Amino acid sequence: MFKWGLSFLFIFYGVIATAEDFLPLINDGVHDNQSGAIGLLQEPEKALKDFPLDNAGAIDWVKTLADGSIEPRKGLTGKEKMVAIDLDIIMKNTSTMPFVSFSHKNHTEWLTCSDCHTKIFMPQVGGNFITMASILNGDYCGTCHGKVAFSLYNCARCHKTDGNQSGLR
Ligand code: HEC
Ligand code: HEC
Ligand code: HEC
């Protein structure tokens, strides 16, 4: 039942996924539309129009960072440095779905270790009992994905590693 529910959402998402729609700043519900400053800001539709998209038609932020489309400040002063580590983890407790590949490199170019360790994940392979239900509930990967990082309904961006056997890690 649970799996069918998820598959249904995935199929549905596949059908409705199109290139991202950007609302004008004046009625995006986020910016103060009474402020004169609104005219000074670049409209997202214009600013983001050449950004690379992922398989679901959403902006692929990892690619924008890699190709230099954006260069976020590392900290308040701009002089801080990010310490990225290159450590991929294959997560195999995925039932009939392909394994999940977690890249430390792609995460630590934006985030610091203490953003995840130890509040969200114990830093130990297999040290966390992660289920899809808990992720959809906003824990583990769902602390960020579906909120500030790409959608939880883009199953294939996480479940992307072929493997013919699964099991508890
Ligand atoms: C942000 C990354 C991410 C996305 C997106 C994602 N998953 Fe997962 N999924 C995981 C992780 C991590 C696990 C746990 C793997 C482990 O512990 O070895 C998991 C586990 C699972 C499992 C096995 C465990 C369980 O709870 O049944 C299923 C089935 C599953 N995912 C289906 C899906 C489906 C269907 C989608 C799309 C609707 C999806 N996942 C989207 C990361 C993700
Ligand atoms: C976005 C979240 C996130 C960030 C940021 C992050 N990690 Fe991790 N880390 C994980 C996950 C997920 C695992 C695997 C846990 C599991 O298998 O259950 C892990 C596992 C580890 C492990 C265990 C490896 C092993 O072989 O057992 C170490 C060590 C580690 N991380 C160090 C770091 C360091 C150092 C940083 C900062 C440079 C960092 N992590 C940043 C999510 C993160
Ligand atoms: C602390 C926040 C945070 C957590 C927790 C987190 N992510 Fe991410 N993740 C991000 C951000 C930010 C990006 C880059 C922006 C984007 O792609 O939307 C990202 C990008 C990714 C990417 C695309 C880059 C790539 O390697 O292909 C994948 C896949 C991914 N995350 C999987 C996971 C999985 C699996 C987990 C849980 C084991 C997880 N993330 C936990 C914040 C997080």
Q: What is the pLDDT of residues 115-151, one digit of tens each?
A: 999 999 999 999 999 999 999 999 999 999 999 999 9
Q: Which residue has the tokens 């580590």?
A: 85
Between the CA of 66 and the centroid of ligand 1 the distance, in Å, is: 26
- Higher pLDDT residue, 104 or 27? 104
CA 20 to chain centre: 15
| pLDDT given for residue 39 in this prediction | 87
**For residue 33, how far is its CA from the centre of ligand 2 (angstroms)?**
41
For atom 40 of ligand 2, which residue has the closest CA? 113
Q: Is the pLDDT of residue 162 over 90?
A: no
Close Cβ partners of 121 (under 8 Å, ≥ 6 residues apart): 127, 128, 140
d(CA 13, CA 160): 17
Classify residue 34 by burial, with Cβ atoms within 10 Å: 0-12, 13-18, 19+: exposed
* Ligand that comes closest to the CA of residue 151: 1
**Residues in the ligand 2 pocket, defined by CB under 6 Å:** 83, 85, 89, 102, 104, 107-108, 111, 113, 115-117, 121, 123-128
Ligand whose nearest atom lies closest to the CA of 160: 3
Say if residue 165's pLDDT is above 90: no
Mean pLDDT score, 69-73 = 92
Residue 155 CA, chain-centre distance (Å), reads 11
Is the pLDDT at 99 greater than 90? The verdict is: yes
- Among candidates 95, 106, 105, which has minimal Cα distance to 163? 95
Name which residue leads in pLDDT, 70 or 10. 70
Q: b/e map of 68-94 (b: 16 or more CB within 10 Å)?
A: eeeeeeeeeeeeeeeeeeeeeeebebb
140, 134 contact by CB (below 8 A): yes
